[in-house]
Amino acid sequence: MPLVCLTDFKAHAREQLSKSTWDFIEGGADDCLTRDDNIAAFKKIRLRPRYLKDVSKVDTRTTIQGEEISTPICIAPTGFHCLAWPDGEMSTARAALAAGICYITSTYASCSLEDIVATAPGGLRWFQLYVHPNRQLNKQLIQKVESLGFKALVITVDVPKIGNRRHNITNQVNLMKNLLLKDLGSPEKGNLMPYLQMSPIDSSICWDDLSWFQSMTRLPIILKGILTKEDAELAVKHNVHGIIVSNHGGRQLDEVPASIDALTEVVAAVKGKIEVYLDGGIRTGNDVLKALALGAKCVFLGRPILWGLAYKGEHGVEEVLNILKNEFHTSMTLTGCRSVAEISRDLIQFSRM
C-alpha cells in the first residue's frame, strides 16, 4: 500500500524503529502538551479561499536569505539521522538537493560535515550550532562550516539546559556515549564534532555574546527558538538576519505556546526588518499555507524527515517532501494563490473550537 500523507510515514516508522529510537524521536518534554499542541493549533485555523482567479500556473518558489528554493518547505536540524537509516545525514542531504530546498545540518549530526557536503555538492545548507563553553572550539567549527560552503549559521537559543524528556530517562538513552560517531578523535586533530557532541552546551550565552559570533563570520546569523515579541525585538536590535519561531518540537520547556500561535507576535515585532521562519507541527500543505499567511517566509520539517528516512532513506525523504510540496501546491491553487507572494493574512481565520 502506498504512503499518501505524512501520517502514513509516521505509522510506518513506528513499526520499523526500535522502541528507544522511536521514543527518542517522538518524545517531548514533561507531559508533551506543547508537542501535541504544535499540531492541534493548526486545526484551529480555517482557510478563506478566493475563486475565479486564473490558477492555471502556480509557482511555489521563494527565497530565503537571498537564495532561491523550489518551495517554502525545508529541513530543520535534527540529530543522529543514522538512528533512522544507515547513511544518516548523507541521505538527508541528497534528498534536499534533489528537492531544491535548504537543509539545516545539526551539531549532533552522525555523519561528518565533509561527507555531508561531498555527497550533495551544490546543495543549500545552513549549520545549526549548539554553543560550546570553549570559545575557541566554537570559532574553529564556525570557520570550518563557512569553508565547507554552508550559507548561514543557525544558533539554537532555547537549550541552556536539556528539557525534561521522560522517555529518554526511562529508556536510559545516552546518545552521546552509546552512538558510534564518525569523527571520533581529539579536537587538536581537527575532529571537532564528536568532541562538541560529548560536551555540555554553554548556559551562560546572552544577547551581548552575539557580537562575538558576528565578528568572526560573514555568514548570516539566524536565531532558532524565539517565541516572544520581546526576544524578537532584541534579535532585530542585535542585527541578526533571521528568526526561526520554534519550541524545539515541544522537547524543551513544556506548556509554552505552539509555534504557529507564537508566530504572529514575532512577525509583528520584527516589522519586516528580518526574515521569520517556523518549525513545529507542520504535517500538511494547508499547514504550510497557514504559516506563510501568518508571516513565515518558509517552514522547516523535523520529525517527518526522520519518518521518511526510516521508510526508504533518501528516497523516503524525497517522498515526504514531494507529498508536502504537492499538497501545498493544491492548497495554493484552491485558495487562489498563483505565487507565494500572493499568500496573505486575508486567507485565514481562527475558528471558535
Give the other-Cβ count within 10 Å of 64's Cβ.
22
Annotated binding-site residue? 35: no
Annotated binding-site residue? 28: no
Distance CA 155, CA 294 (A): 23
Residue 248 annotated as catalytic: yes
Annotated binding-site residue? 106: yes
- The residues near 194 (Cβ < 8 Å, ≥ 6 apart) are 181, 182, 183, 184, 185
**Helix 6-16, helix 303-335: angle, nearest 10:** 170
Annotated binding-site residue? 248: yes
Annotated binding-site residue? 7: no
Annotated binding-site residue? 243: no
Query: CA of 261: how far to CAs of 229, 246, 295, 297, in Å?
Result: 12, 10, 12, 16
Annotated binding-site residue? 302: yes
Instruction: Identify whether the C-beta of residue 131 lies closer than 8 Å to the C-beta of residue 212.
Output: no
Annotated binding-site residue? 242: no
Query: CA of 69: how far to CAs of 29, 114, 312, in Å?
Result: 33, 23, 24
Task: Please pick, among 167, 238, 248, 329, the residue that the annotation labels catalytic.
Answer: 248
Which DSSP symbol is given to 268? Answer: H
Per-residue three-class SS string for 101-133 = CEEEECCCCCCCHHHHHHHCCCCEEEEEECCCC
Distance CA 69, CA 78 (A): 20
Distance CA 228, CA 212 (A): 24
Annotated binding-site residue? 246: yes
Annotated binding-site residue? 46: no
Annotated binding-site residue? 130: yes
Distance CA 120, CA 92 (A): 9
Annotated binding-site residue? 345: no
Annotated binding-site residue? 218: no
Annotated binding-site residue? 282: yes
Amino acid at position 120, single letter: A
Annotated binding-site residue? 205: no
Instruction: Identify whether the C-beta of residue 78 lies closer than 8 Å to the C-beta of residue 302.
Output: yes
Annotated binding-site residue? 77: yes
Q: Binding site residues for FMN, as ranges?
A: 77-79, 106, 128, 130, 156, 224, 246, 279-283, 302-303
Q: Binding site residues for glyoxylate, as ranges?
A: 165, 248, 251
Q: Binding site residues, as ranges?
A: 77-79, 106, 128, 130, 156, 165, 224, 246, 248, 251, 279-283, 302-303
Residues with a catalytic annotation lie at 248
